[in-house]
Structure 1
Amino acid sequence: MTPARSASRSPRGHLQPPGRVLTRRGMLAGAASLPALAALAACADPTTVSSASGTSGVSDSGGSSDGGSSPIDTSGKQKRIRTKVDEELAKAVPETFRKDGKLTVATTVVGGPPLCFMADDNKTPIGSEPDIAQLAADKLGLELDLKITSWENWPLKLKTGEFEVVHSNVGINDERLHTFDFASYRRAFMTFLVKKGAKLGLGEPDSVSGRIIAVGNGTNQEALLMRWNEDLKKDGKDPAELKNFSSDADVLLALGSGRVDAYFAPFETMNYVASTRDDVETQGKIDELSPGKTLVAATFKRGTGIAEVYAKALQATIDEGTYAKVLDRWGLGSEAVKTSRAHTKENP
């Protein structure tokens, strides 16, 4: 895909006082200024969510809802859900991965709740991504060695071997399959964050015609909008103007001031933002980037031979129920998949 412009990512700001359990609504309502919300689109693409367990703050049609009462714990004291080793799968792990007894996993803590973010103690990475990585490591009999990286840097660092796996709401797409192998574990949705009450009807290609849309650089969201723009131009309609911003605060300020009409980003994080604010809401819920559904997946350097056994480990957690516990913990139950499998260039 061709990036629109370069965009830097800002460090994540705290969303609540240390140790506080975040409830559904009112956390940031009525704030005088828009906070910096750390690269909400960076994790991607991901894709990277309405909740079957009732923790979603947004309905499928995009309007805010008040259903559900399960909180998201943002403290650093919580314990991850764990599982037991599968000895047969552990033996099937390639020697290059198991020789040191560790599974080195990278995540980006700028994705925002509930995916991958820094806890209130500002030192503990938490969210659904680290939790799924923990389950996979346990099942393969490896110690989880969690590393923090940036969205811009993970592709190169993965290719050079600085870490072995990426769990950062990475969506599978055709371009990435040329470079990486994957083991899928969640469905991916995208949405438009708009000012509360904005009746833009966003969600279909024609709906973005002539609009000014903020979007993360190099994300699946940007790729999809670019594809929509090509279709609009073929039909003689005005394309959307895509804008990247240097910080998340700038994105939200631009949205609040009307300089952009919407922010196109992962549904998971935008859903969370909409559920904790009274000035924004989501519109549309898109889950198709190319033929078939977009999936979030553990990401590996191509040809390392780990994807197949890793997918089997994830499948084992699905079958036993620990996978569902993790997704329900973070309000992502509706994004669950029944099957995890390896995705490669040869078998996408």
Structure 2
Amino acid sequence: MTARSTRRTTAAHSRIAAVGALAVAGAVLLTGCGDQTEKKGSSGESEGAGSVSAAPLAEKLPSAIRDKGVIKVGSDIAYAPVEFKDGSGKTVGIDPDLADAMGKQLGVRFEFENGTFDTLITGLRSGRYDIAMSAMTDTKDRQEGIDSDTGKKVGEGVDFVDYFTAGVSIYTKKGDDQGIKGWSDLCGKKVVLQRGTVSEDLAKDQAKKCPKGKKLSIEAFDNDQQAQTRLRAGGADAGSADFPVAAYSVKTSGGGKDFELVGEQVEAAPYGIAVGKDNAGLRDALKAAMDAIIENGEYKKVLDKWGVAEGAVTEATINGGK
């Protein structure tokens, strides 16, 4: 997820965030199937979220979206518990559940399409997706279309509707933390992670600080599940991911016997729904829908269901990333 540069790119200010322990156990994590289209809505139903005319916020949508009755969502659907496929192949998780709730407010379906995380903004710019919703961290670089590695402008940037807060964690094989308690302890070791995420940004920053003779080796993958598989097989010393994802993996992988979290989560920052700069109408409609489900309690129900209530926000924010 994924992001999640790109942060799922490092925020300008670090702070520790406490995101609740994940309560959902036993879900089956399946590897994402490349760049395939999820033909049905996130709920798996073929019908729309409801009558557009009867939806309380339908009139806030741009007419083209309202007429279609569908919002196409670019997402890396391999980032449990934020978005992933369950044992039946259905797209589930925090983002799909929130999208379903927002769809009831707007009278449209949110149709999730699977893609690798580092191509989602490109897909958004090209018009393949209407939005990107994929545990994507809102950052100034993304807002301004800046490549965080080179500092060069690579696009027009995107706007974000921020809806959640999460930090980044390190995890190791259970019972074999090798003394790793934080990022500085990774010097001389190998870390696995998902390409294009804040974990990769943090690892690159730490690698520059490591003393001579204690190189930090970084192996980046297309998705987080591949990184987990590498660590599980003994091909690395540690992994890193957004805290909700790392905690979920610790809880579920191998029945809780594969991994353990080490140290504190860092770099807490907002997840945002990415929208094109030329689509302010859709952006504002999404903000209104998110605010509505926060107010009516549906937002809390979703976060409670997935055990991440402490990452909640009290209102949606436009471009709140630093």
Task: Give yes or no for TM over 0.5.
Answer: yes
Deviation at 1:273, TM superposition (A): 1.8
CA shift in 2, pair 1:320/1:193, >3 Å: same
Does the 8 Å CA contact 2:187/2:216 hold for their aligned counterparts?
A: yes
Match of 1:139 in 2: 105
Q: How does 1:165-314 map to 2 (within 5 A)?
A: 165-178=131-144, 179-200=157-178, 202=180, 204-230=182-208, 232=209, 238=214, 240-245=216-221, 251-252=227-228, 254-256=230-232, 258-276=234-252, 277-288=256-267, 293-305=268-280, 306-314=282-290
CA deviation digits over 1:190-215, x for unaligned, max 9?
Answer: 11120112344545442322222112
Q: Which amino acid aligns with 1:209?
A: C
Give 1:91 deviation, angstroms. Answer: 1.9
Q: 1:255 to 1:89 in 2, by over 3 A?
A: same
* Count of matched residue pairs: 281
279 and 183 in structure 1: CA distance in 2 versus 1, 3 angstrom threshold: same
Counterpart residue number, 2:148? none
Structure 2: distance between partners of 1:336 and 1:103:
24
* Alpha-carbon separation, structure 2, partners of 1:84 and 1:334: 33
Give the % identical residues: 21
CA, structure 1 residues 71+264, in 2 after alignment: closer, same or farther (shift >3 Å)? closer
Distance 1:319 1:201 in 2: 44
The answer to whether structure 1 residue 46 and structure 2 residue 15 are counterparts is no
Please report the TM-score for the alignment, with normalisation by the length of structure 2.
Answer: 0.74
Q: 2:65 corresponds to which residue?
A: 97
> Structure 1 residues 204, 102: closer, same or farther in 2, change over 3 A?
same
> TM-score when scaled to structure 1?
0.69
1:121 paired to 2:100: no
Question: Could you tell me how far 1:185 is from its partner in structure 2?
Answer: 0.9
Cα deviation, 1:103-125, whole Å, max 9, x if unaligned, reads 222322222x3221112112x21
More helix by share: 2
Query: Secondary structure of the equivalent of 1:188?
Result: strand
Q: RMSD over aligned Cα, in angstroms? A: 3.5
AA matched with 1:302 = K
Task: Find the aligned partners of 2:204 and 2:66 in 1 and give their Cα distance.
Answer: 41
Contact 1:42/1:151 (8 A) holds in 2: yes
Residues 121 and 171 from structure 1, CA distance in 2 versus in 1: closer, same or farther, beyond 3 angstroms? same
Contact 1:106 1:148 in 2 (8 A): yes
* CA displacement at 1:262 relative to structure 2: 0.4
Q: Any conservation in 2 of the 1:192–1:283 contact (CA below 8 Å)?
A: yes
Structure 2 segments unaligned to the other structure (5+ residues): 10-16, 30-41, 145-156
1:154 aligns with 2:120: yes
